Copies of this chain bind each other. A is one copy, B any other.
Amino acid sequence: MINEKLQEECGVLGIWNVGDFDTAETFYLGMYGIQHRGQQSAGIAVVNGKKMFYRKELGLITEVFSESEINNLKGCKAGLGHVGYNIESDNIRENAQPFIFKYYKSYAAISYNGCITNANRLRSEYLENAYMFQTTSDAEIIATMLTKEVAKGSSLEKALDRVIKRITGSYSFLVMTPEKMIAVRDPYGMKPLCLGILGASYVVSTESSGLDTIGAKFIRDVKPGEIITIDDNGLKSHLCDSYEKTAMCIFEFVYLARSDSIIDGAGVYKARFESGKILAREYPVDADLVMGVPDSGLPAALGYSDESGIRYAEGLIKNRYIGRTFIQPSQSLRELSVGLKLNPIRDQIEGKRIILVDDSIVRGTTSKKIVQMMKEIGGAKEVHMRISSPPVKFSCYYGIDTPDKAMLMANRMTRDEMCDSLGADTLAFISLDGLLKTPVGAKCSFCSACFDGCYPIKTEEDE
Contacts and interface: CB of A to CB of B under 8 A. Distances in A.
Contacts of A299: 314
B100 A321 contact: no
A91 interface: yes
A288 B36 CA distance: 31
Q: Chain A contact residues: over half helix, strand or loop, or mixed?
A: mixed
27 contacts: A25-B329, A29-B340, A35-B321, A62-B323, A101-B134, A102-B132, A103-B132, A104-B127, A104-B128, A127-B151, A131-B147, A209-B317, A209-B343, A212-B339, A214-B337, A214-B339, A260-B317, A260-B343, A260-B344, A267-B345, A267-B346, A267-B347, A269-B347, A270-B348, A298-B314, A302-B314, A312-B312
Contact of A32 (B29, B213, B321): B321
Size bracket of the A interface: 35 or more
A2 interface: no
A157 interface: no
Interface stretch (A53-61, A228-236, A429-437, A448-456): A53-61
A218 to B, nearest CB: 9
Contacts of A267: 345-347
Contacts of A101: 132-134
Interface of A: 22, 25-26, 28-29, 32-33, 35-36, 39, 53-54, 60-62, 66-67, 90-91, 94, 99-104, 127-134, 143-144, 147-148, 150-152, 198, 209, 212-215, 258-260, 262, 267, 269-270, 295, 298-299, 302, 306, 311-314, 317, 319-327, 329-330, 333, 335-340, 343-348, 377
Counting from the closest, the 4 A-B pairs by CB-CB distance are A215-B336, A130-B151, A260-B317, A132-B147
